[in-house]
Structure 1
Amino acid sequence: MNEQAQDGPHVVVLGGGLGGVACAHRLGDEGVRVTLVDRNDYHQFQPLLYQVATAQLPAEDIARPHRTIFREHPTVEVRTAEVAQIDADGLSLTLTDGTRITGSHLVVAAGARPEYFGVPGAAEHAFALYSVADAERLRLHVQSLVRTGAEPDADEGELDIVVVGGGPTGVEIAGALTELMAALAATERIPRPGRITLVDRGDALLGAFSDKSHEYAHERLTEQGAEPRLGTGVSAVHADRVEFDDGSSIRTRTVIWGGGESAASVVADVPGLPTGRGGRVDVLPDLTVEGHPHVYAVGDVANIPGKDGTILPQLGSVAQQSGAWAAANILRELHGDKAKPFHYKDKGIMAMIGRNAAVAEVGRHRHQVEGPVAFAAWLGVHAMLLSGAHSRTDAFLSWAWDYFDRDHAATVEWETRPERIAWGDESADVPHIVLDRGDPTVAARRD
């Protein structure tokens, strides 16, 4: 089945993450016909995945159905489907059922996947944290370990966890798990906290941050009970242990992988889509692909050049802004104007280290702030990112301040339903989160 473009512009967008949604939203505002294709029927807010994984938020709170997002955009059609092939020359996508969707423009916003760097056993035995389904799998797994660890005859290291990667993902999940383990032990749900080891090849946590932030993150995590292990790489991951390149190992049933990401596999080896570092699509300053003026790549799937010639990092703010900019350039073309080079407005970099600990570097000169001030910066940036997916970001702001102020040890959510963000969305708008997509043996082991 071949769906040809109708008269007038028709933009085909691959990917319903921050970049794809921002692009489709902007075009829909102007009445441009858009077909957005994503394997999931929801948009996921990745910055809060670690809270789903540690039972601080239900998964459905950060997975908003695309149909809800675009309810007031009649020119935006959403297709929930797997994409088998991209045709850059033909400006089309071929779905796994054989349907071909062709447009006047193609925007590739397919996102990223975990990068295991060839470490044996990592893909099979480690838990990634790049999607809502990943976070929910990890939550169910750790919840099962907690129940087992509470038994009198439980192995001493049953609850020990190794987190690979000292960037924001690793630091945030390590901090949240350390707090959770301490709270469970303090309320006598488990005999002792599980040991949380955070491993990174570098010589500092949060490597992209300043030295002051490195020290703050290391100090706060250590105070909370985590064990940073720097200058150490992972050589192999097994079902019951992780091995390091210095010859040592740690017995554990839980390895969480935050060690890097590469572009979604759908962009690999596509004629006309040049790829570079991380398997990502190399784009021109205006976000188009060289030789293909009607093909754009945005977000984590693209190597986007910054003002100084370096490649912009894979951040939510980069994804959202690049998606909106691609839409603006398409509108410029439709109005007979020239496309403009992408200009990224840097919001800063930030990470949550615990409920009462955050670090942020904001402003042109990367001014470093900590604690409540850093949390306020974190909150502002994330509220901006949510604005395209939720109309009521005030609900998020209210919930987040409550989250930051609460005493975790006094409010262990593990055995009860986590407090929801009061979005006010209709109850019928529920995302369909599938946990067993992919290798069934891996899914069975993880559950």
Structure 2
Amino acid sequence: MTSVVIAGAGLAGVACAHKLASAGVDVVLIDRNDYHQFQPLLYQVATSQLPAEDVARPLAAIFAKHPNVRLIQSEIVDIDFRSRSLTTGEGETVTGHYLVLAAGACANFFGTPGAAEHSFPLYSIVDAERLRLHVRSMLETRSGPLDVVVTGGGPTGVETAGAFAELFSALRTMEHAGGAADVYLVNHGDALLAPFSERSHKYAFEKLTEHGVKVKLGVGVSKIEAASVHLSDGTVLATQTAVWAGGESASPVAHECGVAPGHGGRIDVMADLTVDGYWGVYAIGDVANIHDGEGKTLPQLGSVAQQSGVWAAENIIREITDEDRKPFHYKDKGIMAMIGRGAAIAEVGAHRHHIQGPVACAAWLGVHAALLSGAHSKVDAFMSWAWDYMDRDHAALVECHGDPKRIAWEDDKKPTLSTVRPPR
């Protein structure tokens, strides 16, 4: 029986495993966590809009109907493309007829002094929960400057800055001390949301400013210390909450494969998502440089990851049935960012039709519901929560009185996750 080993259970890995398992192929899925996390909603966890458990789902639940999927929770310490095998932290060597690398990405600090030690990246549930608990502690103890400094003007930075600004604004209306905090967004480039159009750059800047965010463009972060962020123009911002959204690189495991990494430390792949020179080896999602067929590298988006996972699975199935592999064709759903309740930007389709405001919010919800459908069967619960989120602010109440609002997942009433929280 043909077997496929998949390294990584993000959007790409889960999509690939699900497609293969549904076709009757034996799959071994390996990840350091026993759950699948939905990265686009991490900023909601960090700003107290959602509990960590609601942006994760146990892998055992996702594949409950697929006994041909073997799940291994472990770190990957070595990987060999030639033998299509990998070694776990427990010393087990797992080999397949095919190997799919879907190890995702991690923060890229670009050598900025102190960034790794003193900033809060947002690339995992543990990252998001760590940031949430830190902010809550700061608001409770008032032991230092409450201001938040977000580095990076991409979607993660814009969404995070907007969410924190709304949180602090709501705290001001409650006459809570946290309302005195400011939010800074620092971006090395001259525009927010660089891949978007000029119209979107302007809208994002205006909406963030309207929400109270102090946007600093054309300036970089030169150093981060425990209680301050130093900017390249000599400005020093007093803060103990520096959020890093300044870029990402491929997971470190990509450097252990014996293949020279391409841009961003990612693995360059062929048009059919295989790794050149290694039969039966695929790389998908954020760990790979995937091209659009016209020489351009596709961005690290959830839709790219999910579609590449399905496509790699289909190509493997084609090989098993003695058919030719097909070049990956990405169905471009556009790019989008949520700036706050009622404020969003979406540039839809290959021609990037611009929409903004409530209509863009609806588009954002639709795309994210589609991405979630591979991990949660009760997607309407997400939609119900999301519309409620658009209408009212729960985060300020959370910081003062309780826990983040849950999504009522009918298929996840009692999630069983080993841990999604950082040590306190």
Tell me the TM-score normalised to structure 1 length: 0.92
Post-superposition Cα deviations, 1:365-406, rounded to whole Å, max 9, x if no partner, equal: 211111111011111111111111111111111111111122
Post-superposition Cα deviations, 1:337-388, rounded to whole Å, max 9, x if no partner, equal: 0000000001100001011211111023211111111011111111111111
Is 1:213–2:213 an aligned residue pair?
no
- 1:435 deviation in Å? 4.5
The CA distance in 1 between the partners of 2:284 and 2:178, in whole Å, is 48
> Contact (CA 8 Å) 1:163, 1:255: kept in 2 or not?
yes
> 1:321–1:188: structure 2 CA closer, same or farther, 3 Å change rule?
same
Residue of structure 1 in register with 2:42 after alignment: 49
> Contact (CA 8 Å) 2:377, 2:411: kept in 1 or not?
no
Q: After superposition, where does 1:41-440 map in structure 2 within 5 Å?
A: 41-149=34-142, 158-190=145-177, 192-271=179-258, 273-407=259-393, 412-414=397-399, 415-436=401-422
Letter in 2 for 1:342: F
Question: Which range moved further: 186-195 or 305-314?
Answer: 186-195
Letter in 2 for 1:195: D
Letter in 1 for 2:250: A
> Contact (CA 8 Å) 1:132, 1:433: kept in 2 or not?
no
Letter in 1 for 2:388: D
The CA distance in 1 between the partners of 2:105 and 2:135, in whole Å, is 25
The CA distance in 2 between the partners of 1:55 and 1:407, in whole Å, is 10
> Contact (CA 8 Å) 1:179, 1:408: kept in 2 or not?
no
The CA distance in 1 between the partners of 2:92 and 2:178, in whole Å, is 56
The CA distance in 2 between the partners of 1:234 and 1:72, in whole Å, is 48
The CA distance in 2 between the partners of 1:192 and 1:183, in whole Å, is 7
The CA distance in 1 between the partners of 2:178 and 2:352, in whole Å, is 43
The CA distance in 2 between the partners of 1:21 and 1:58, in whole Å, is 22
Post-superposition Cα deviations, 1:234-291, rounded to whole Å, max 9, x if no partner, equal: 11100011111112211111100000000000110422x3410011011000000001
Which runs of 5 or more structure 2 residues have no equivalent in the other structure? none
Letter in 1 for 2:195: A
The CA distance in 1 between the partners of 2:420 and 2:351, in whole Å, is 43
The SS at the match of 1:425 is helix
The SS at the match of 2:82 is coil
> Contact (CA 8 Å) 2:49, 2:405: kept in 1 or not?
yes
Moved over 3 A (4+): none
- 1:293 deviation in Å? 2.5
- 1:433 deviation in Å? 2.4
Residue of structure 2 in register with 1:4 after alignment: none
Residue of structure 2 in register with 1:440 after alignment: none
Letter in 2 for 1:117: F
Letter in 1 for 2:88: L
> 1:109–1:322: structure 2 CA closer, same or farther, 3 Å change rule?
same
The CA distance in 2 between the partners of 1:345 and 1:81, in whole Å, is 33
Letter in 2 for 1:413: V
Which runs of 5 or more structure 1 residues have no equivalent in the other structure? 1-7, 437-442
Matched residues, percent identical? Answer: 58
The SS at the match of 1:120 is coil
Post-superposition Cα deviations, 1:30-79, rounded to whole Å, max 9, x if no partner, equal: 11100000000000000000010011100000010100000011111111
> Contact (CA 8 Å) 1:84, 1:94: kept in 2 or not?
yes
- 1:408 deviation in Å? 5.7
- 1:324 deviation in Å? 0.5
